Structure 1
Amino acid sequence: MSFDPVQFRPAQIRPDFPALAAGLAHFDSPGGTQTPTPVIEAISRALAEPLANRGHGNQAQRNAETIVVEARAAVADLVAGRPEGVVFGRSATSLTFDFARTLAATWSPGDEVVVSRLDHDANIRPWVLAAEERGAVVRWVDFDPTTAELDPARVADVLTDRTRLVALTAASNLLGTKPDVAAVAAAVHTAGALFWVDGVHYAAHAVVDLAALGCDFFVCSPYKFCGPHHGILVADPALLATLHPAKLLPSADVVPERFELGTLPYELLAGATAAVDYLAQLAPSGESRREHLQASLAAVEQQEDRLTGRLEQALADLGATVYSRARHRTSTLLFDLPGTPAAVVAERLAAVGVNAPAGHFYAIEASRHLGLGDRGAVRVGLAPYTDDDDVDRLVAGLSALS
């Protein structure tokens, strides 16, 4: 089904974001979006009403229980998963570290783990460190720096009967590249390994369907899609039941609670539910929240694609070197302007109210593989509230530097 982008226009929602009143043009959304009022109010309401540790004995306990149940249901709708498989944590990074330790407990010396240079370091270093501790072998998969593409065949080529886990991003936070995750999943499962997908950048720019992706584990972060700062992992509850993390003795041992170390941040979970609901009403179509999300996110993606086309043309006119060249990618562009260091470009743009930072953004292996070293380049990314005026301001700022 196709969606007419006229169903959604940024002007309809910009008043919902109090931070936009400061007058800045935000192209820093790959590092985190601004927060709409309904999410802010949901967080505030959770803190203002009676709240205690989860339970059913009194209203404060029931409020906490309701928040958790509703948050798991909202996330399940967002990714087409099951609420019983939704795990909450401090961040996607901390969840990956925690699960890396748990999964590595089953590895033996000589087992193999596969990581890619396209990824954020949060989906590389936890696996590398876990492998080192267990005497496992780390196998690397490179992307093509000239096209920013990662060929699934490169993953298949390094798989053996000793491969225990493959970690790959669904969308590069640095380049926007969206690898063929489903093709990789098929190869990984043929080899009998587990597939861990970092969806932090992907979930902000695509309709997530876990079955279509074919991953065993999927992590994301609500603050990338208008929600609060925490992490989410989603997996098949049956798979989670086979894993036994280190935990406190009296902590619940049921799934998914056995993976949630300590008291959950109930107010942030309330915010995550509100963020999902907010996304669902941007351009709704259908009956269920899942259907509303599919329609809304597809409409937003079309709008972002249009604005990205404008930016690409402007960068070409300015003679910029654009590193985001993959055929399938998000509305994120990494580039350099001729004759002006990336850090200077970001500084000059900030001085005229345009937030477009420079760096490697923790995708340090990708930056080095592109030949950019640890300095990185300028990165711009779009969000649902990005409009044509923002693009005009960015282009004007860049033109003043050329």
Structure 2
Amino acid sequence: MPTLLPMAFDVEKVRARYPALSDGRSWLDSAGGTQVPQQVIDAVAEVLARGVSNVGGDFDSSRRAVSVVAEARAALADLTGAPGPECVVFGPSTTALVYRFAGVLAAGWRPGDEVVVTELDHDSNVRPWVQHAQRAGATVRFAPIDPETGSLPAERVVELIGERTRLVAVTAASNLVGEVPDVAAITRRAREVGATSFVDGVQHCPHAEVDVAALGADFYATSAYKWSGPHLAAVVAADPWSLETLNPDKLLPSPDEIPTRFELGTAPFESLAGVTAAVDHLAELDPAATGTRRERLLASRRAVVAHEDRLAALLFDGLAELPHVRRVGRPAGRCTPIAAFTVPGRAPAEVAGSLAERGINVSAGHGYAWQAVRALGLGEEGAVRAALCHYSEEADVRRLLDALGDLA
């Protein structure tokens, strides 16, 4: 197995910022959630320690709350390339936010209307649309993945989009096999027929230079805990007009301006402070990067992607050399650093348990990729999933491959 050449990205300096990584384990479960750097921990603690009050008060702790929310919206706009902070809607999870938006976007659906979803998606970007379509009497069309590779060619989605299509939901990166579809081609066709596009960016955002305009997404969802932030999610609109035209159910005295009309209850101020700190951390991953935060984010992301691609190549090649391990899905094009695999004769949970005993954190199961596991012939027990991120290192990959080799 070849040794990887050193690169400019200093992963050891990055890892030193993460207290959790000092436990000696290999954290290869980032697709399910990342750990957080000290500056995120400090940001959350500072808000709680200094004191924060609800917005609307004429005193410092209330003004701090207003500032925390504004800074978090600006940070998400920089991270995703949104036109401005007013396009950022926060919520407790991506699943909750998709249901929130499904409720308002489906309000005008009628029998004969059509909704397009895919077998590649996490169920949070499938089930809410399916359920609302069924209530409205609309037709649901599923774009199938390739059962051998797990790939989703854009034409398989595009050919389902017609004049009666009202919404197209598609992931920008699979949480199971790492497939990165040609989202721009899909959303371009959706715009041609006047359909809304809702893009799940939960697994995409940690591993790409995100630009909602380039993707063509009307709405783009991301979860902060997948890129070193707190457990909080956001839906980013391509332009404020997209939000202005929607009127979600809300309490009568709640604010009616965007984006707060979409947010239920009091904001989690300490978590929002952590979101801003996480974005700032991501912008610092390339110490040579200069310019605005958006510019530094793009430069840092390029360095991260190069680092992850090197490790992913080592992982994929190493799995291919293990005759008793079957990798599930082999996307032909661009993919994120995720590998799903099985060991014939052993349940995925058993394999994950064995790896845990060796100090390796991986996940096992369907990962809520409910349609994909069936299309790939896996069943509900799913597969083992190893996922790399910016703080993963070569030793983690080799440790996993060695442990899998011992399972032969």
The TM-score with structure 2 as length reference comes to 0.96
TM-superposed CA distance for 1:75, in Å, is: 0.4
> 2:60 matched to 1:59?
yes
One-letter amino acid of the counterpart of residue 274, structure 1:
A
| In 1: Cα distance, 2:318 partner to 2:69 partner | 45
Alignment counterpart, residue 351 of structure 1, candidates 326, 347, 357: 357
Q: Take 1:56 and 1:203, find their aligned partners in 2: how far apart are those partners?
A: 35
* Counterparts of 1:19 and 1:392, CA distance in 2: 20
Q: How does 1:3-402 map to 2 (within 5 A)?
A: 6-55=7-56, 57-81=58-82, 82-235=84-237, 236-284=239-287, 285-319=289-323, 320-326=325-331, 327-402=333-408
Distance 1:8 1:231 in 2: 28
SS in 1 for 2:110: coil
Where 2:220 maps in the other structure, the secondary structure is strand
How many Å separate the matches in 1 of 2:143 and 2:295? Answer: 36
Give % identity.
50
Question: CA RMSD for the aligned pairs?
Answer: 1.2
**Which amino acid counterpart does residue 375 of structure 2 have in structure 1?**
H
How many residues align? The count is: 399
Superposed CA deviations along residues 54-76 of structure 1, whole A, max 9, x for unmatched, are 23611011000000000000000
Counterparts of 1:231 and 1:281, CA distance in 2? 22
**Any idea what the Cα deviations from partners look like across 1:234-266, whole Å, max 9, x if unmatched?**
002111000000000000000001000110101
Cα distance in 2, alignment partners of residues 397 and 85 from structure 1 = 46
Give the drift of 1:340. Answer: 2.9
User: Is the contact between residue 155 and residue 184 of structure 1 (CA under 8 Å) also seen in structure 2?
Assistant: yes
Partners of 1:64 and 1:373 in 2: CA distance: 46
Cα distance in 1 between the residues matched to 2:347 and 2:317: 21
Tell whether the 8 Å contact from 2:148 to 2:329 is kept in structure 1 after alignment.
Answer: no
1:389, 1:5 → 2: CA distance? 13
Question: What do the CA deviations read for 1:168-214 (whole angstroms, capped 9, x no partner)?
Answer: 00000011100000000111111110000000000011110011100
CA contact (8 A) 1:174 1:332 kept: yes
Whole-angstrom CA distance in 1 between matches of 2:354 and 2:14: 28
Report the Cα distance in structure 1 between the residues aligned to 2:54 and 2:134, rounded to whole angstroms: 38
Take 1:12 and 1:385, find their aligned partners in 2: how far apart are those partners?
9
Q: Which consecutive residues of structure 2, in runs of 5 or more, have no partner in the other structure? A: none
- Using the size of structure 1 for normalisation, the TM-score is 0.97
Conservation of the 8 A alpha-carbon contact between 2:151 and 2:329: no
Q: Distance in 2 between matches of 1:314 and 1:343?
A: 21
In 2: Cα distance, 1:172 partner to 1:252 partner: 36
The separation in 1 between residues aligned to 2:152 and 2:363, in whole angstroms, is 25
Whether the 8 Å CA contact 1:203–1:220 is kept in 2: the answer is: yes
Contact 1:9 1:303 in 2 (8 A): no
Alpha-carbon contact 1:318-1:337 (below 8 Å) kept:
no
Shift of 1:339: 3.6
Cα deviation per residue 1:321-369 (whole Å; 9 max; x = unaligned)?
A: 2123112110001111244332221010001110112111000110000
- Letter paired with 2:273: A
Q: State the shift of 1:130 in Å.
A: 0.8
Alpha-carbon separation, structure 1, partners of 2:294 and 2:317? 35
Moved more, 384-393 or 255-264: 384-393
| 1:53 positional shift | 1.1
Q: Deviations over 1:35-67 (max 9, x none)?
A: 110001100111111211123611011000000
The amino acid across from 1:256 in the alignment is P
Q: Tell me whether 269-278 or 49-58 shows the greater mean CA deviation.
A: 49-58
Q: Within 1, Cα distance between the matches of 2:390 and 2:42?
A: 19
Contact kept in structure 2, 1:55 and 1:64, CA below 8 Å: no
SS at match of 2:397: helix
| Residues in 2 aligned to 1:201 and 1:104: alpha-carbon distance in whole angstroms | 25
Structure 1: distance between partners of 2:362 and 2:19 = 19
Per-residue deviation, residues 110-134 of structure 1 (Å, max 9, x unmatched) = 2111110100000000001111111
Which has the higher mean CA deviation after the structures are superposed, 73-82 or 339-348? 339-348
What CA distance in whole angstroms lies between the structure 2 residues aligned with 1:73 and 1:324? Answer: 37
